């Protein structure tokens, strides 16, 4: 597969990765200047060469790359959490997912990627500037056509019914749980993301009042390993906390 003008490409230069749009412009790095038009018609996986003779490999960005390179004004949802969320919510091609609290749009992007062109993501946020940012990030990832954004407070309810899953990334998830219940299909999966123990405790209290079963809370830790001949060991520092993830299934009492 060949690089085309307008493609967004992950440019790999001596272990550093840049997400660039292929066009008639120059792109400066600490390894010299790359003429991005050189990439046009090259095979993905091959390279262009900088003004100082350094290779820049041309890679198609994966969902992981796109999420890590997002323009952010908020704490993003990290791939470690997003991968697990997708699996627990059971998001796949053709599904309808509703999220509340899009932030910069990193999880929105994962949802939009996974549902495909036959699915749909409904994304609510009460702050207009986040919707604008998330829209821009989704457009850059060519996934915006799968998402419908709405600026609204969670407690004012959601328009959709019978969605496969609802995900809440809100400071007070409990205010949205009734709205979530009403939008979910029977047996559908609710997920929430919260940084503090106080939040998960109050959320679980609300869920235990009825309408949900199989309530489970986890945290996901990713530990990097430096695998190298003769001196393999874990990396010395890691991200030790992003958020707790809670999952539950809607039931009809």
| Residue with token string 């792109």 | 27
Does 113 help bind a copy of itself (rule: CB under 8 A)?
Answer: yes
190 belongs to the binding site for a copy of itself (CB under 8 A)? no
Nearer to a copy of itself, 151 or 251 (CB): 251
The single residue among 4, 21, 71, 117 that binds a copy of itself, judged by CB under 8 A, is: 117
Give the span between the Cα atoms of 23 and 235, in whole angstroms: 38
- Residue 176 found at the interface with a copy of itself (CB under 8 A): no
Cβ distance to a copy of itself smaller for residue 117 or 156: 117
Question: CB count, 10 Å around CB of 245?
Answer: 21
Integer Cα distance of 154 and 121 in angstroms: 16
Nearer to a copy of itself, 44 or 150 (CB): 44
Q: Strands, E, within 80-203: which ranges?
A: 96-100, 120-125, 147-151, 163-168, 184-194
Minimum CB separation from a copy of itself for residue 252, in Å? 5
**Residue 137, phi then psi, degrees to nearest 5:** -65, -40
The residue among 136, 132, 13 whose CA lies nearest residue 66 is 136
**Within 16-35, which residues bind a copy of itself (CB under 8 A)?**
17
Nearer to a copy of itself, 53 or 235 (CB): 235
Residues 49-70 as b/e (b if ≥16 CB within 10 A, e otherwise) read ebeeebebbbbebebebbbbbb
Report the residue from 30, 41, 46, 73 that binds a copy of itself according to the rule CB under 8 A.
46
Query: Which of 22, 70, 85, 131 forms a contact with a copy of itself (CB under 8 A)?
Result: 85
Tokens of 214: 């199989």
Instruction: Provide the mask over 47-76, with x wherever binding to a copy of itself is found by CB under 8 A and - wherever it is not.
Output: x---------xxxx-xxxx-x---------
Residue 129 near a copy of itself by CB under 8 A: no
Smallest distance from the beta carbon of 128 to a copy of itself, in angstroms? Answer: 26
Pair type for strands 26-29 and 32-35: antiparallel
Q: Which of 19, 84, 157, 160 is close enough to bind a copy of itself by CB under 8 A?
A: 84
Residue 199's CB is within 10 A of a number of other CB atoms, namely 20
Binding residues among 222-251 for a copy of itself as defined by CB under 8 A = 222-242, 244, 246, 249-251
By the rule CB under 8 A, 109 interacts with a copy of itself: no
């Amino acid at each position: 597969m060949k690089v085309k003008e307008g493609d967004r490409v992950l440019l790999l230069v001596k272990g550093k990765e840049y997400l660039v749009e292929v066009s008639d412009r120059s792109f400066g790095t600490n390894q010299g200047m790359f003429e991005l038009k050189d990439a046009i018609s090259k095979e993905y996986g091959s390279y262009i060469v900088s003004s100082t003779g350094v290779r820049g490999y041309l890679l198609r960005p994966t969902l992981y790359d796109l999420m890590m390179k997002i323009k952010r004004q908020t704490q993003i949802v990290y791939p470690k959490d997003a991968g697990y969320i997708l699996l627990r919510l059971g998001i796949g091609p053709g599904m309808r997912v509703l999220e509340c609290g899009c932030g910069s749009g990193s999880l929105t992007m994962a949802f939009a990627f996974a549902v495909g062109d036959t699915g749909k993501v409904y994304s609510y946020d009460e702050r207009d500037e986040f919707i604008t940012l998330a829209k821009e990030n989704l457009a850059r990832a060519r996934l915006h056509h799968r998402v419908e954004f709405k600026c609204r407070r969670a407690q004012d309810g959601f328009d959709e019914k019978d969605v496969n899953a609802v995900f809440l990334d809100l400071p007070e998830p409990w205010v949205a749980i009734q709205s979530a219940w009403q939008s979910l299909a029977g047996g559908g999966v609710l997920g929430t993301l919260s940084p503090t123990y106080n939040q998960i405790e109050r959320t679980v209290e609300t869920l235990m009042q009825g309408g949900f079963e199989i309530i489970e809370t986890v945290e996901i830790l990713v530990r990097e390993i430096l695998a190298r001949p003769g001196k393999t060991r874990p990396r010395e520092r890691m991200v030790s906390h992003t958020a707790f993830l809670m999952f539950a299934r809607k039931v009809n009492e």
